[in-house]
């Protein structure tokens, strides 16, 4: 089941708009590592925007979108409401992309036809709004912040093995880091060891970080 992570979703007072070569973006900074699988954006339309494409991108040193989409999805802009209060539209991002804690990314929105309007207000402190009038080649930062919700999945546990230290004749310290618990809590952790290569849990092991080295 999807989880709501980062969001700016209350108190919208105005809007930005885009269509054709005019693109819109909102940068955001996740507070938890997760796989983003969809976004909800507060949108409305005028005319016939056609296909609306939403992508997640890296940002450059000036906190503006850069590079190609890390993941993306589309929605039928012609079915958006014409009510200027907007509607929350969910855009699936396929298999998604793993976002890292405290790394800023950008939600980039563009439409093939006439204008899509994105509701906004000020007050989001972990990102900024930007617009482009040349299909994403260059960007200009704006003062207001777009209304968005970042939905995703914690994914699999993230584990990294680190170098063994304090190596002696009959002892050593195994090191590692569990940086993300994933979809289910980690119940045990430790290191497998053996005097031959590729030890498994059937070999000697430590449990929850403690254990003895055999002879």
Question: What Å distances lie between residue 112 and 3, 21, 68, 75, 98, CA to CA?
Answer: 30, 9, 17, 11, 28
The reported pLDDT for the residue numbered 57 is 98
Kindly give the pairing relationship between strand 173-180 and strand 158-165: antiparallel
Q: What is the pLDDT of residues 4-44, one digit of tens each?
A: 999 999 999 999 999 999 999 999 999 999 999 999 999 99
- Give the number of other CB atoms < 10 A from CB of residue 104: 16
How many Å from the N-terminal Cα to the C-terminal Cα in the chain? 47
Q: Is the pLDDT of residue 186 over 80?
A: no
**Nearest alpha-carbon partner for 94 in 56, 65, 44:** 56
Q: What is the pLDDT of residues 99-154, one digit of tens each?
A: 999 999 999 999 999 999 999 999 999 999 999 999 999 999 999 999 999 999 98
The pTM of this model reads 0.75
The reported pLDDT for the residue numbered 183 is 47
Mean pLDDT of the chain: 89
Cα torsion angle, 130, 134, 137, 140, sign: negative
């Amino acid at each position: 089941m999807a989880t709501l992570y980062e969001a700016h979703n209350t108190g919208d007072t105005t809007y930005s708009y885009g269509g054709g070569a005019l693109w819109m973006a909102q940068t955001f900074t996740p507070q938890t590592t997760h796989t983003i699988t969809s976004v909800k954006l507060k949108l409305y339309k005028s005319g016939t925007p056609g296909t609306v494409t939403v992508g997640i991108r890296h940002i450059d040193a000036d906190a503006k979108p850069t590079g190609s989409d890390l993941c993306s999805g589309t929605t039928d802009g012609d079915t958006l409401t014409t009510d200027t209060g907007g509607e929350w539209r969910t855009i699936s991002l396929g298999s998604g992309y793993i976002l890292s804690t405290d790394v800023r990314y950008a939600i980039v929105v563009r439409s093939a036809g006439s204008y899509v309007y994105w509701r906004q207000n000020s007050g989001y402190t972990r990102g900024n709004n930007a617009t482009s009038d040349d299909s994403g080649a260059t960007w200009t930062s704006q003062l207001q912040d777009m209304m968005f919700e970042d939905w995703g999945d914690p994914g699999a546990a993230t584990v990294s093995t680190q170098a063994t230290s304090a190596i002696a004749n009959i002892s050593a310290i195994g090191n590692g880091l569990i940086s993300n618990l994933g979809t289910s809590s980690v119940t045990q952790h430790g290191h497998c060891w053996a005097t031959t290569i590729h030890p498994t849990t059937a070999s000697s092991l430590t449990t929850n970080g403690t254990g003895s080295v055999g002879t």
